[in-house]
């Protein structure tokens, strides 16, 4: 017979092992995507790479051990990012983002390729088009991204968006960025302003 404390420790070890295996499965799928890519300098230009990353995210959605309860914890004032894995060669970083009701990202493009999937709840994705003359982004459309949604985009201002949680419940998303872990806060988002109204642009 195990004492309650011993049972709790065994359960924690079992959970940690399952999490490590889930992370290893995702990283193996991402490594395979890079190996299949014909344009390693900019893998987002490779259709097969984009497909493989989407497939890896889709499989990750069905793997409950990948994101631990601690990596689903949010904070009150803004969305919270938890680092899950980072490639030893600096090719990619995997993170969970936790969104409380009312949280939103800034309007941004990306300095690197990025894929994401919604694990829990519903996010709203607003897409924008860059107006070079007005030096800002115009709203194109908004649509809900419910649990199970998967997306992939390349770097540059052809893929400007904003994610927000307009629901009454927490949302959790899984993101893969083409940067080393130490650069996730500085070399991913290209934060952009809204385009000025035409009358304001004249004055």
Give the domains, in start order, of the chain with CATH numbers: 4-202 (2.60.120.10)
- pTM (predicted TM-score): 0.89
**Burial of residue 185, with CB atoms counted within 10 A of its CB: 0-12 exposed, 13-18 middle, 19 or more buried:** exposed
Say whether 163 sits in a helix, a strand or coil: strand
| Rounded Cα gap, residues 82 and 19, in angstroms | 14
| Rounded Cα gap, residues 81 and 198, in angstroms | 36
Give the model confidence (pLDDT) of 18-44 as tens digits. Answer: 999 999 999 999 999 999 888 878 898
Estimate to the nearest angstrom the gap between the alpha carbon of 127 and the chain centroid.
16
Residue 13: predicted pLDDT = 45
C-beta separation of 19 from 65 below 8 A: yes
C-beta separation of 129 from 138 below 8 A: yes
**DSSP characters over 86-132:** E-TTSS-EEEEEEE-TT-BPPSEEESS-EEEEEEESEEEEEEEEEET
Cβ neighbors of 156 (< 8 A, separation 6 or more) are: 109, 110
C-beta separation of 36 from 49 below 8 A: yes
Residue 197: predicted pLDDT = 72
Q: Is the pLDDT of residue 203 over 80?
A: no
> Residue range 105-134: average pLDDT?
97
């Amino acid at each position: 017979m195990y004492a309650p404390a011993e049972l709790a420790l065994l359960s924690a070890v079992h959970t940690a092992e399952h999490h490590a295996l889930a992370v290893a499965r995702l990283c193996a799928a991402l490594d395979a995507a890079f190996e299949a890519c014909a344009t390693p300098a900019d893998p987002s230009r490779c259709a097969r790479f984009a497909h493989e990353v989407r497939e890896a995210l889709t499989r990750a959605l069905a793997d409950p051990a990948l994101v631990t309860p601690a990596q689903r914890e949010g904070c009150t004032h803004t969305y919270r990012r938890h680092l899950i894995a980072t490639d030893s060669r600096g090719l990619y970083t995997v993170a969970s983002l936790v969104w409380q009701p009312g949280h939103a990202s800034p309007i941004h493009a990306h300095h690197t390729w990025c894929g994401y999937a919604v694990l829990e709840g519903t996010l709203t994705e607003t897409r924008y088009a860059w107006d070079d003359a007005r030096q800002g982004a115009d709203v194109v459309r908004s649509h809900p991204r419910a649990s199970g949604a998967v997306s992939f985009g390349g770097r540059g201002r052809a893929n400007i968006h904003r994610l927000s949680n307009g629901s009454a419940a927490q949302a959790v998303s899984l993101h893969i960025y083409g940067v080393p872990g130490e650069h996730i806060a500085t070399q991913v988002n290209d934060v952009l302003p809204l385009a000025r109204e035409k009358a304001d642009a004249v004055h």
